[in-house]
Structure 1
Amino acid sequence: MENNNKDLITKYLADNIVYYRKKMALTQLELADKLNYSDKSISKWERGEGVPDIFVIKELSVFFGISVDQLISKRKQRFSLFKHRYLLAYFYASIAWLIAGTTFGILSILKVDYPAWHVLIYAIPVSSLVLLWFFFFWRQIKYIFLYFTLFQWSLALSITLLIGDIYNYWVYIIILPIYLFILFMLYVIYIRKR
């Protein structure tokens, strides 16, 4: 039983060293430099082939910002909203659609002298702006391009509908250079850095 417990602690310690090192985006060599050990020692600890002494375990726990008990115990899986971030983003975007759908229904029932379907078009730039903000914050470049494009052109369509003249092309002519400029800036900021 005692040997089994020792093996379990060794496994948990190895798993936790790997987990927290990767969480801090460090390589084995970088962690070894910070602890003044060799990367071979770190590799040995992570494979469970060796265990650091108690002073190094304490130093590791301080470095990772956790207790020694957390370092040698099984990690508890916590519910993370960050794991469900896409769901969160689409939930907030759906609020715009809920408001637009409700408004559309009310305008249709009341037979207001206004095309009720315009409200549904206005929801497109609002929801795409919400999604753009989330994905910009999370640095998801393909979604940034997608939702920026959707936002830009649906905004132009919404402005055209607000003006009331669908043959008024000046909105699209004004938006096109703005769109191309911002796409170029996004390319410079995100793509060229890679």
Structure 2
Amino acid sequence: MVNEEKLKKTISKNLIRYRKMNNLTQLELAVTLNYSDKAISKWERGESLPDIYVLSLIADFYNITVNDLISDQETGERKKIYQAEKIISLLSVVVVYTVATIVFVYLIVSNISVQRSWLVFIYALPISATVLAFFRKKWNSRVYDFIISTLLVWTLGLSIHLTFHPRVDKMWMIYIICIPLQLILLSWFILKIYYKK
């Protein structure tokens, strides 16, 4: 039989783990559940327990069962699924570059007149960053989010620059647009760390 203290400890540990797996702060979770962040904090410190209704809401939100929140161990199957999703995100990037390579080879061997067919690999950069951004929750890392968002901004700028460079004068100024976007990303990253609990 599980005693109350052990159950509180298990639930608090699982609440923290699932919140962090979903890249949420206590405040973000509190807003979603319509509770105060102080209540979330108490649950995560094991000072009190959420009632069964709230546990059910949390489980639905994370797409898990209530048993996942109250059980002491993570199932090996769930870990395998999580790892498989990470591998799928990386394989998706490989698919992007495979398609880019096929397009590049096709442009070279066909009679289509394209001067800079190598640009397909440059275009693959922001597409890859977008694919990785789509799978960002699987990595559970704010640093990862920041790096991928940064790559997306600058590789998109690079793609636009190289596409129009010879024909449009001063095309390098596209990078001036990237600077404030980068500053916004950096500010957002710092704020998320600052408000992380």
Output aligned runs, 1:1-194, within 5 Å.
21=11, 22-25=13-16, 29-30=47-48, 64-65=66-67, 77-78=76-77, 80-114=80-114, 115-135=116-136, 139-165=140-166, 168-188=171-191, 190-194=192-196
Distance 1:20 1:180, change over 3 A: same
Distance 1:180 1:89, change over 3 A: same
Q: Alignment identity in percent?
A: 22
* Matched residue type, 2:93: A
Residue 75 of structure 1: how far off its partner (Å) = 8.6
Residue 139 of structure 1: how far off its partner (Å) = 4.6
Q: Which has the higher contact order (CA 8 A, sep 6+)?
A: 2
Q: When the two structures are superposed, what TM-score results if normalisation uses the length of structure 2?
A: 0.59
Q: When the two structures are superposed, what TM-score results if normalisation uses the length of structure 1?
A: 0.60
Aligned partners of 1:100 and 1:19: how far apart in 2? Answer: 50
Aligned partners of 2:104 and 2:159: how far apart in 1? Answer: 15
Task: Calculate the aligned-residue CA RMSD, in Å.
Answer: 3.7
Q: Which runs of 5+ in 2 are unaligned?
A: 17-43, 53-64
Residues 131 and 147, structure 1, Cα contact 8 Å, conserved in 2: yes
Aligned partners of 2:74 and 2:158: how far apart in 1? Answer: 51
| Number of residue pairs the alignment of both structures matches | 149
* Matched residue type, 1:78: E
Distance 1:131 1:19, change over 3 A: farther
**Which of 1 and 2 has greater Rg?**
1
